[in-house]
Amino acid sequence: MTETTSAGRETAFDETPTADKKVWATTGLGVLGALAMTSCCILPLVLVSFGVTGVFIAQLGALYQYKWITFALSAAFIGYGFYKAYRLIPAEACADGTCARSMNRTLMRSILWIATAIVTVAMIFPFLTPYLLSY
């Protein structure tokens, strides 16, 4: 499927440049990092609330010692994703009058913000747990 621009030039909709694939890859890695952050604290609570039981849920607590490693990795991926999502398009890419964006940056930005919120909650959750369980 193609689109004709105002300059009479045809551009392809279905083709995504390599840079866009890298941005989506870093967004995906940021989301995976956010999910890894929840594996020690929040994920077992969610699984138990849905009725999932088993020994493996208790063993997810053993991942707590890797919290800072997963935080560092997820923060790096999310930070790089934000850099790629919010940076300006270079002027030379728009030199011919077309500034086509083959991806939906709004969707990518919202995914990154959700992943950031998940990582933030996962970092704060161990400090809030005593207050939540004390009532």
Spell out the domain ranges in the chain. 17-86+103-133
From first to last of its 135 residues, what are the pLDDT tens digits of the chain? 444 555 555 444 434 456 667 777 877 888 888 888 777 777 777 777 788 777 777 777 777 788 888 888 888 888 888 888 888 777 776 777 666 555 677 888 888 899 899 888 888 888 887 887 776
User: Which element (helix H / strand E) includes 119?
Assistant: helix 105-133
Alpha-carbon distance of 92 to 74, in angstroms, equals 32
Write out the DSSP string of 24-78.
HHHHHHHHHHHHHHTTTTHHHHHHHHTT--SHHHHHGGGGGGGHHHHHHHHHHHH
